Each structure stands twice: as C-alpha cells, then as structure tokens.
A and B are shown apart, each in its own frame.
Chain A
Amino acid sequence: MITQTHRRVFSCLFILLGCCATRTVAQDLAAFEERFTQFTLDNGMTFLVLERHAAPVVTLLTFADVGSVDEQRGRTGLAHLFEHMAFKGTQTVGTRDYRAEKKAMARADAIFEAMRTERLKLQPDPKRLDEWAEEFKTVQAEAQALLVHDEFQQVFKQAGGANQNAGTSVDYTLYFVSLPSNKIELWMNLESDRFLNPVLREFYREKDVVMEERRLRVESDPVGRLLEEFLGTAYLAHPYGTEIVGHMSDIENLSRPEAEAFFRTYYGPANLTVAIVGDVQPKNVQRLAKRYFGRLKGGPKPPPVRTVEPPQRGERSVTLQDPAQPFVLLGYHKPDVHHPDSAVLDAVTDIMGLGRTSRLYDRLVKKDRVAAYASAFQGYPGDKYPGLFMFYAVPAQGQKHEASMAAMEAEIERLKKEPVSEAELTKAKTRARASLIRSLASNSGLAQELAYYQVITGDWRNLFTRLERIDAVTINDIQRVANAYFTIQNRTVGLMETSNAL
C-alpha cells in the first residue's frame, strides 16, 4: 500500500562516502558491510544480500560463471542460446503435459540429428532432407500444442515484476528481475526450479530467433560486421575471438541434447552466485534459499578454458569496404582483470578516453576536428582472460580514417614518451571514486557489480578496494604500461572504408 505522508524519510544507510578526503576505503567498506550478508549453501551456491530499505522493492540476480568463452570450437553460440532457453520453463511451468511433450521433443531431436548428419555429408540427398523436414515440422507442431508460451515470464509480470531479462557476455551469464519486496518467495520458487528442472522446449524454433538476433546485431549492422572481423583478426587461438552470438553455421547445427549437456556441465550450484539487493531481511532470504536452492545437486567442477592466446608476433589488420561511413578501431592485447596492471589501465582509460577533457577527445574532436567522437576502453571483449585495450574514432564528415588514425597514434606515442600530468592522474582517481558512489544508487546496478566482483575477481569487496589500487597508480606506472602494451607488434587495426553506395 502506498501512503502519502508529510514525514520525510531519510535513509541513512550509508555513511557518507568520500565526503571528506580523509575517509579511507576501509571506512567506506566497513559501513557497507553492516548491511551486507553472505552465505553459501552446502551445494556450493553463494548468496550475496545487501539491505536497502528506501523503497519496498528488490532486485534479484543470478550470475552464472559461464560465457561464450567456455564454448567448444564448432559449437559456438551455445551459452547465449541456453540463456534464451532458460526462459522456456520447467517440468511444471510452461507445459500442459510434460510427459507427452518429452516424447515429442525426443522425436524432434532424433529427426534433427538425422537431418544434420545428412546435411553435413559431402553429397547430401535433397529428397531425404525434404522428407525429414516435413516430419520435423509435424513433430514440432505437436510439441508446440503441448506447451504454454512464456508462462515463466508471465508469472513474474503478473506478480509485478519489472525489468526482467538476461544477458550473455564472453565471461558470464546473468538473469535478473526486480520485484515488489513482499514477493521474493516467488523468485526463489521459480528461479530454483529453472535451474533444477529446465526444459529446453521450442529449442529449434528459438534457434531461429537467435539467428535473427545475429542478423540484427552483426550481419545487418556495419559496426557489428566490423567488430566481428576485428575480433577474429585480433585473436589467433583464444575463444575471445568469436562473437558471443556464435557463427551462423554453428547455431544451425546445435542440437537440444548438446544444450542440455552444456547446462549440466556449467550450471551446477557451485557455479551460480545470487545477488539480492533491496528491501529484504537476510534471515528470511537465507531460510528461503536453503529450502528452494538447497534442492540443486552439486557436481564436478566445469572444465576450465585451456587455450592461452600466444603473444602476438606482428601487427594485424582488417579493412572492410562498406557502404557505411568510416570507422577506426585499434586494439592491444593486455592482461586480465586480476593482473596488477589492470588498475593502471583503468587510469589510462580515464586519461585517454573519458569525457571532453580526455586526450583523444581533446585532440581529435576539439583541436584537430578530424573526428566527431573518439575514446578508449579496456576489457574488450571480456576481462576474465586477457582481453584488449581499445581505442576508437568516428571520423568527421568528409574525413577518411587516415587523419584519425594518425592522431590516435600520435597520442599513444605521447603517452609512452612523456609522463602524464599530476592533474590528469588525480582526475582519474577522483572520477573512479565518484563513479563508485553513483553506482550505489541503484539496486540493479549494485546487484550486478557485487556479483561480478565476487565471481570474476574472487571477492565482492574488490568493488571498493579497487579504489585503493587506482589510488596507488603513479605517473611512472602509466608510462611503463603504455610502453609495455601499446606496441606495433601487439596491435590490431580495424578499419571501415566507405565504398560506393548501396
């Protein structure tokens, strides 16, 4: 019930962070920890709970430590496809008759495998393929008649859920929703069921949806096309070189049993971390978590990614001739987020790429006028493993890529040869702190940050202690790191050149 009152509610949940220069990260963290609870179930599933009682709402987020980086060659797109499948329901949600459905799905799987085997022959028989295609259509229609579309999402919406969605990155997969805070048991019930008894119904139809998504994001979008080519060029061996959505032919060949095996391998409870931020009581959360998620059975640890990208031996480059306007990308291999240089590269990102006073914007946009926009960022496509430090420019109307490229190269050389100013480094540190404070204003932002830091860096407290590492960065560090990583032989260039019209 919502009431209008004349009493102002002050939620002094957080002792004011950063309001005095003398406050330390340790003090900020201590204040935060008063509202924080962490527990792990017997099966290894970890829960992070942060109380925030300003409004009776809560964000609940499941973070699975699996992404497209974990896929095998030839089966790319599986992690993201599974994320789609995780909305299709369970043995009790999303079906009119699971037993009949199961039979129909098994028949569909068998026909798909037969079709795939035939299709992948050097000389496939079109007649057999057509016959199977007809049978496949029939069986799929039978299975579809037995299901209830989108029941999983409907239940949440009806209960007042907001912003329900999921996302797959190279490194991890997220599932989240915000609910009125009196309904967390609904989330416990359905979310645990979805990882206990998922049913990958409408699998082959959902592949069609994913193929449309690939066409939308990659194939029919100029920058999407360039980025796919760029990633494949920058990486020789490591799975970071493949787009998250996967290769079209791989998606076409994925089968439901393969997706189920992927789920069993990577979605065990020890590989799941839940972050809950909002108007909750930790004891209640723990009680419900034990009851619902305690049902998930532990299993063997998923296999780690084995391939290590070897050092780049020489400059790599890809140029697309495209109807679209020019675009310039530069990428340099860099270590993963655990490496001490990561904090230094955060400072470099700020100095080179953040805001109107960044070096790239100042030079390419304000002074030289060769680009409409220019910036830098690190951790592309991910940072659990060694990723790329990126520079990019959007050349100005009438300009080709050469001027932007030359200006970016000049700024990179300058970073290597001359120490940055104290003012620039201080600005980077101030902005890192302010950015953390701003991120504390949102339940959903916090849930994602807490889960990310816990799983990817090993400790959610790194959300705060990261500031200490950035504060410790020196001018010498920046120069050292620039010289270590921003070399020609470590560089991949991606260019869009405008060819003749459509």
Chain B
Amino acid sequence: MKRFIVVIVLLATVVSQAASIKHYSKLRYPPLGDIDIPDVQRLTLPNGMQLYLLEDHELPLVRFSTLIRTGSIHEPADKIGLASITGQVMRTGGTTDRAGDTLDALLESMAASVEVSIGLNSGSASASALTENADTILEVLAEILMKPAFPEDKLMLAKMQLRSSIARRNDAPGGIADREFDKLIYGPDSVFARHPEFATLANISRSDLAAFHRRFFVPNNVMLAVWGDFRTPAMVEKIKTVFADWPRSDEAVPPAPAVAYDFPKTVNLINRNDVNQSNIVMGHIGGLRSDPDYCPLIIANRILGSSFTGRLFNNVRSRQGLAYSVYGVYTANYNYPGVFYVGCQTKSESTVKAIEAMRQEVATMTREKVSAEELALAKDSFLNSFVFNVDTVGKVISRMMTYEYYGYPADFLQTLKQGIEKVTAADVLRVAQKHFQPDQFQILVVGRSTDFDRPLSVLGNVKEIDITIPPPPQPQKK
C-alpha cells in the first residue's frame, strides 16, 4: 500500500510538472492593454507653416522635426548634388547672424544637435536638446532655416566631402549593385536614379545654393513637429515669434515626375576581381502605396521576403545555405513607383544557381495559392505587431506628417489594418500574377565572372556595365 501511495505521489508530481509547462501553442494570454494615442495639437500659422505638437514628460528632452517640400528631384541635370549640398551647407555654413563654427561650438557644448538634409523627395531639419536648451535650439533651427549664409569655404568643404564619396562609390560591391540597379529600372538620367559626378559638382556655385534655398524654404512649404518636455502654449508662442519674419511664397512646387517602364528583360554584369562573392539584384518596377492592391501586396511581401520566415529566407538561406542575406520586396512609395527587388550575396560558384532559386520562388508565388498557414502567419504578424507602429510619440508624429506631406488620408494606417484583415489567398495570387513578372526581370550581378558556376549568358544576352568614374573636369576646382 505504501509503495502504491509513493507511486501515486510520484506520478502526480511528474504529471503536475508536465502540466505546468505547456506547449507554446496551448498558452493563453490576457488581452493587450490599451494604447492611448495622444492627440497631436495641430495648427497652421498665418504664414502657412503647419505645426504638430505633442507633450511627453517622461524625459527632459525636446525634439523638433521639420519636413520641407523640396528634393533633389528639382535640381537641374547639370548640377546633380545641388540639393544635398544645399542641405549640408545650410547646417555647416552658419547664418547671417552667426558663423557655422560658432553654431557647432554652441550646439556641441550643450550636447544638442541641429541637422539639415535634403533627399530625393523632401528636406528635413531636425533638432534635439535637453529641456533647458529647447528655446536656444529653436532659435538656431529657425535661423538656419530662414537665413543661411552659404559661405564659400563651407561650400568647398561640402564639395570635398561629396567628391570623396564619388571617389569611393565603387569600393564596396553592395553599394555598386544598389546604385546601378536603380539606373536600370528608372533610367540613368532619371531623377530617381541619377547621382552626382565631379563635373556636376564643379558647376555648383554659392548663388545656386542661395537660389535653391529661396525657392523652397518658405514657411508654407514647411511642417514643423515638436515633441517632448515642454508646455504647448509657451512653445506655440515661441515658434510664432522666431518665424514671424518669414514671408511665404506661392510658387508651386512641381510634383514628382511620372515613371514609364516597359519591362525590358536584361542581364547585366559588373566584373570585379577583388571579391569571392557575387552581389545579385534582380527585379523590375514596383508600385505606389495608393494602389488598391497594396494590402495584399504587403502580405505577398511577407510571405516571399520576410527575414527568418519568408520563402526566400527559408529556401535560399536555411535550406540551401546559398546566402546570409537574401531578400525580396515589392516596394511601394508614396508619390512615385518603387522597385521590386529580389537579391542576395552568394559565393561566386553559386551565382547562377542562386539567381534561378530566387526567381523560382517568385514564380511559385504567381502560380500557386499560398498555404493557409503562410497566409495566417503573414496576417497575424502584421496585426499582432500593430502596436509597434504607435508605441512611441516620435513614430506617431512622424507618420502623421508623412501622410499629410504626400496627401494620404490621416487614417491611412487604420485603413491598411482593416484591409490586411480581409486579405485572402486568392487575393495574394491575384496580385502576384498582376504585379510580379519573374520572366521579365532585369538581372544585375556584381562579381568575379571567371568563377561563376555557369556563364551569365545562359540567362540571356549579357551587357557589361562600365562603372569607371568619369574623371574631374580640368582644371580641377578646389
């Protein structure tokens, strides 16, 4: 009897231990806590500047972020680099009131920063400081936006730095692949793919910078967001004061140009002897976020290209060991079509094998419905991680400004969420068939062709792209 009891007790212990460690699929979770998305204070100043303010007193920090309607898409073709340099020298060159080096010393002694940059489609000026320095950096930010001095020496410095990056642009194979592939898709002269050359930099003068600034940096082209440790009424007053003397301009900013793409099939090689790994990029034009197919495309992207869980990762990396980094994404931009990129880096000896393996994955997406499990994983991963879209004040404000900048509805994210909930496997197949054209890929390989498993010509007529950097014009300007 005693032994029987002992056995019962032992069994009970074993059973209870086993019962307390469930298989993960049996776990049940409490409901997720509410997220209170705070209201962003919105107002438009008389001069047209749009303000977004959100207090957050967790830490003694204040951050400013501006979005300016400008971009390198507006620079003339013989002065590529103008927008980027204008942004840089706005920051480094100081203002009509204070020299650039003076501002450097002031900001860095306060552990604060103000930075300006102009990209393809927009400009940004951001600032960050401890609470006690918020007023000071707002003044600096305003001064830089309104009255940059564009001194010659800082223009020379910016040109030196940009010339250095031109000289280095062929050093690393990844950079070469990305740059050259965009030119294949958009065209080498397209505003979306072109890049500065020594000659275009040489054409840029300080009057060009001043003119570029005058044209775009007007208050009605500016959205200014502030978040952090401040009090809204005082901050609004301060902003009104520092930007009071900034006149507006109603010169319209042209929209981004349209992109024509006729799905050429090309095979391109950039031969390098200093690598033992090929950098492969292939694909074609992508789309816009406003496309009605955007939600199913988000799901298709997840199934095809997610790291760790997507088909490309599972098959090309985990199963076949062909690459460390493999990706596939149909990018959709706000105001101009993105690119459908599929690519990886693989040893020279598996180049063609990897190309075929990746293309096969895309082709399968266009032929067969995805499985119920894959669909559920893609939808669940989007919906269950939704909280990470809105978990910081910075994200909330930045998204709001971006949507407004590009003319998207304020509730666009919520619309996406509702759309994702409805996506079916049939939808995914339909959009894959419509938008993925694996037989119409352009293919680019940067690699050591003598070591390839098979010659690239098995894929089609090979064009060798010459990436020699055109030399600086003579005489070389400083």
- Residue numbers of A with Cβ under 8 A of B are 1-14, 16-19, 54-57, 87, 92-93, 144, 149-150, 153-155, 157-162, 164, 178, 180-183, 185-186, 189-190, 202, 205-213, 215-216, 219-223, 279, 291-292, 295, 322-325, 354-357, 365-366, 369, 372-373, 394-398, 423, 426-427, 430-431, 433-435, 437-438, 440-441, 501-502
Do A372 and B317 touch (CB < 8 A)? no
Do A6 and B130 touch (CB < 8 A)? no
Do B35 and A215 touch (CB < 8 A)? no
A-B contact count (CB 8 A): 273
CB contacts under 8 Å to A, within B32-89, are 32-39, 55-61
CB distance from B106 to the nearest CB of A (A): 10
A441 in contact with B173 given A189-B22, A189-B24, A502-B272 (CB within 8 Å): no
Q: Of the candidates B33, B273, B347, B468, which one forms a contact with A279 in the assembled complex, judged by CB atoms under 8 Å apart?
A: B33
Q: Of the candidates A1, A155, A354, A501, which one forms a contact with B34 in the assembled complex, judged by CB atoms under 8 Å apart?
A: A1
| A66 CA to B120 CA, complexed, in Å | 44
Q: Which residues of B contact A212 (CB under 8 A)?
A: 277, 321-324, 345-347
| A295 CA to B345 CA, complexed, in Å | 41
Do B35 and A434 touch (CB < 8 A)? no
Interface string of B124-144 (1 = CB under 8 A from A): 000010111000000000000
23 pairs, CB–CB < 8 Å, chain A vs chain B: A8-B55, A9-B36, A10-B58, A14-B58, A16-B59, A16-B60, A56-B391, A158-B377, A158-B384, A159-B380, A180-B385, A185-B29, A209-B324, A212-B324, A220-B173, A220-B276, A221-B172, A221-B173, A356-B108, A397-B164, A398-B167, A434-B111, A440-B59
Do B381 and A157 touch (CB < 8 A)? yes
A3 in contact with B36 given A10-B55, A356-B108 (CB within 8 Å): yes
CB distance from B113 to the nearest CB of A (A): 8
Q: Which residues of B contact A10 (CB under 8 A)?
A: 55-58
CB distance from A147 to the nearest CB of B (A): 9
Do A423 and B20 touch (CB < 8 A)? no
Given A16-B59, A182-B29, list of 8 further CB < 8 A pairs?
A8-B55, A212-B345, A219-B275, A223-B172, A396-B163, A397-B160, A426-B109, A427-B108
| A357 CA to B32 CA, complexed, in Å | 47
Do A323 and B37 touch (CB < 8 A)? no
Q: Which residues of B contact A210 (CB under 8 A)?
A: 324
Do B392 and A185 touch (CB < 8 A)? no
Q: Which residues of A contact B385 (CB under 8 A)?
A: 157, 160-162, 180
Chain B: interface size category: 35 or more
Do A397 and B163 touch (CB < 8 A)? yes
Closest 7 pairs between A and B when the two form their complex, measured CB to CB: A160-B384, A208-B321, A434-B111, A372-B164, A153-B308, A56-B33, A55-B391
Is B318 interfacial (CB-CB < 8 Å)?
Answer: yes
Is B1 interfacial (CB-CB < 8 Å)?
Answer: no
Q: Of the candidates B60, B314, B346, B381, which one forms a contact with A19 in the assembled complex, judged by CB atoms under 8 Å apart?
A: B60
Do A431 and B59 touch (CB < 8 A)? no
Q: Which residues of B contact A372 (CB under 8 A)?
A: 160-161, 164-165
| A357 CA to B209 CA, complexed, in Å | 24
CB distance from B414 to the nearest CB of A (A): 9
A502 in contact with B274 given A57-B387, A212-B322 (CB within 8 Å): yes
- Residue numbers of B with Cβ under 8 A of A are 20-24, 27, 29-39, 55-61, 92, 101, 104-105, 108-112, 128, 130-132, 156-157, 160-161, 163-168, 171-174, 229, 271-277, 306, 308-309, 313-314, 317-325, 345-347, 376-377, 380-381, 383-388, 390-392, 468, 476
Q: Which residues of B contact A54 (CB under 8 A)?
A: 58, 391-392
CB distance from B276 to the nearest CB of A (A): 6
CB distance from B271 to the nearest CB of A (A): 8
Q: Which residues of A contact B105 (CB under 8 A)?
A: 357
CB distance from A198 to the nearest CB of B (A): 15
Q: Of the candidates B164, B376, B388, which one forms a contact with A394 in the assembled complex, judged by CB atoms under 8 Å apart?
A: B164
A325 in contact with B34 given A16-B229, A397-B160 (CB within 8 Å): no
Q: Of the candidates A219, A426, A434, which one forms a contact with B277 in the assembled complex, judged by CB atoms under 8 Å apart?
A: A219
Q: Of the candidates B111, B160, B173, which one forms a contact with A435 in the assembled complex, judged by CB atoms under 8 Å apart?
A: B111
